[in-house]
Amino acid sequence: MSMTFSGQVALVTGGAAGIGRATALAFASEGLKVVVSDLDAANGEATVEAIRAAGGEACFLRCDVTREADVKALMEGVIGAYGRLDYAFNNAGIEIEKGKLADGGEDEFDAIMAVNVKGVWLCMKHQIPLLLAQGGGAIVNTASVAGLGAAPKMSIYAASKHAVIGLTKSAAIEYAKKKLRVNAVCPAVIDTDMFRRAYEADPRKAEYAAAMHPVGRIGLVEEIAAAVLYLCSDGAAFTTGHALAVDGGVTAI
């Protein structure tokens, strides 16, 4: 199936590493111009250089998604760089907490909610007018399997990802007749720097993380990128308001 993306423009937040970098590279490989955004300018620029080295076109714009002024400036930068926006992948997120609900702190709660929920909301708020100006398009938000059910010892993170799915579904219905589709991807454990930081001190936990997936391994960033591109493609033209589990079978148990 052709992705039919040539000449269009995609924005990827959290594009400095992991799922964001893989998705930015995947968009570029399909002929899109890509705006990579992140707080981490050095690694964000590295993503852009990787795209250019492969023959693609991209630029980096730094943004703190928790600040509306930054998000507004990001959208202005997208238009300034390429004149349009067709697809947005709202992937910027913060790591999970590691304790039971009653052990959590207010600062931790505020930080997770600010990035994972407010950040997605602000990005969609300012992306939607640009997408509507092009006659529609697609937004994909990064949620999690933790947003599809219970997630012991990461209740704040789970709540934030349930909220992302709520934002996704609500926006999808609000703009369904405007040819703007809004979906979410819900990864299980994926092989990213975040995963390695969480499990490098105890290899047994990494083995357990692999074993909890019915397919017997954790996921790859390229597999999430492929799901994002599908949700943006014409092949998903009848798909909106969906939270797509890309989880090695975890949610089927």
CATH of the domain at 124: 3.40.50.720
**Which pLDDT belongs to residue 3?**
62
User: Nearest CA to 227 among 193, 188, 179, 184?
Assistant: 184
**CB of 39 closer than 8 Å to CB of 26:** no
Domain coverage including residue 50? 9-190+220-244
Mean pLDDT score across all residues of the chain? 95
What average pLDDT does the segment 81-92 reach?
Answer: 98
**Which pLDDT belongs to residue 5?**
83
Count of domains for the chain = 1
Q: In the chain, which residue ranges form alpha helices assigned H by DSSP?
A: 18-29, 41-53, 68-82, 106-113, 119-133, 155-174, 193-199, 203-211, 221-232
CA atoms within 13 A on the CB side of 113: 10
Among 82-91, 114-123, 131-140, 205-214, the least confident range:
205-214
Interatomic CA distance for residues 231 and 250, integer angstroms: 21
**Which pLDDT belongs to residue 76?**
98
Structural domain includes residue 2: no
Interatomic CA distance for residues 235 and 112, integer angstroms: 33
Report the percent of the chain where pLDDT is more than 70: 98
Q: What pLDDT, in 10s, does the model give residues 184-233?
A: 999 999 999 877 777 766 778 888 889 999 999 999 999 999 999 999 99
Confidence of residue 7 (pLDDT cuts 50, 70, 90): confident
Structural domain includes residue 208: no
What average pLDDT does the segment 30-52 reach?
Answer: 98
pLDDT over threshold 90, residue 100: yes
What average pLDDT does the segment 39-62 reach?
Answer: 98
Question: Annotated active-site positions, please?
Answer: 157
Structural domain includes residue 154: yes
Structural domain includes residue 212: no
Structural domain includes residue 203: no
Report the percent of the chain where pLDDT is more than 90: 89
Structural domain includes residue 81: yes
pTM comes to 0.96
Structural domain includes residue 155: yes
What average pLDDT does the segment 80-96 reach?
Answer: 96
Structural domain includes residue 3: no
